[in-house]
Structure 1
Amino acid sequence: MNVRRAQAAEAQHIVDFQIDMARETEDVTLDRNIITPGVQAVFDDESKGWYFVAEVDGKIAGSLMITFEWSDWRNSMILWIQSVFVAKEFRGRGVYKALYKHIQQIVSESNDYAGIRLYVDKTNTNALQVYEKLGMDSQHYGMCEWIKP
């Protein structure tokens, strides 16, 4: 398995993953006309985030996006994992684990980053088990949000 930063030429693949993820996890149909430029914006402006992909036998098996949160408490960035998706045919084969370990290594080897966070739906027990198995703590913070209608 090879984990690496995604390339702009792979944007459409990530768009397809995001459409599949929204449908599968939240029964939401994303508008391709909105998500396509949304994904492209990340490739056009690295301050918005970075995409990573995991390849198995040359095929993209999964992806995630990293965004940034400044922590004044730690005087460094927290990397947020978002938009996680592993294609069905590759699930249970350690694809997310490889992506996570790659991000964890980036954080461990840099003084610029303090840690890793992610959002997870409380009802997504499979994802919670995976994240906790990798040593992430889901007990410390809750999350509140307001998204304009």
Structure 2
Amino acid sequence: MKVREAKPEDILSIVDFQIAMAKETEGIELHLPTVELGVKAVLNDASKGRYYVTEVNDEIIGSLLTTYEWSDWRNGTVLWIQSVYVRPNFRRKGVYRNMYSHLKHKVLEDEKLKGIRLYADKSNISAHKTYKKLGMSPEHYTTFEWLK
């Protein structure tokens, strides 16, 4: 299992994962051309975020996106994990654990990075258990949003 930063040629796998994840976790049918443009925007501009993929035998089996939050309290950047997807036949085999470990190592090695955050749907109990096993805590913040 190998974790690496995504390359432009990984776009089809990442787009497929995003479409599948939205349908699986929230019952949402995403607009394919919009998702393609969104993934391409990140792959072409690292200031928007970075995708990471996990490969087994040159097959991409999982991905996640990190975006950035500036923390004035910490004078540094917190990485937000988003858009996590692992192919169903590779789940419960340490794929996410490896991606998370890869990111945690990056944070520990870089003084400018101060931590990792993510959000998970309240009903996604399986994901909550996974994150807690890796030492993440739900903390005391509640996420609010307004989306157009």
Aligned-partner Cα distance in 2 for 1:9–1:77: 28
Aligned match of 2:108: 108
Aligned match of 1:133: 133
Pair 1:79 & 2:84 matched: no
Aligned match of 1:56: 56
Aligned match of 1:36: 36
1:105 maps to a residue whose letter is H
TM-fit CA distance, 1:14: 0.2
1:60 maps to a residue whose letter is I
Per the normalisation by structure 1, the TM-score is 0.98
Aligned-partner Cα distance in 1 for 2:140–2:84: 21
The RMSD of aligned alpha carbons is 0.6
1:54 maps to a residue whose letter is T
SS at match of 2:46: coil
Aligned-partner Cα distance in 2 for 1:104–1:139: 18
Name whichever of 12-21 and 132-141 sits farther off: 132-141
TM-fit CA distance, 1:89: 1.0
Structure 2 regions of 5+ residues with no counterpart? none
CA offsets, 1:72-96, max 9 Å, x none?
Answer: 0000000000000000110011000
Aligned-partner Cα distance in 2 for 1:118–1:67: 10
SS at match of 1:121: coil
SS at match of 2:37: helix
Aligned-partner Cα distance in 1 for 2:46–2:139: 31
Structure 1 regions of 5+ residues with no counterpart? none
TM-fit CA distance, 1:139: 3.1
Per the normalisation by structure 2, the TM-score is 0.98
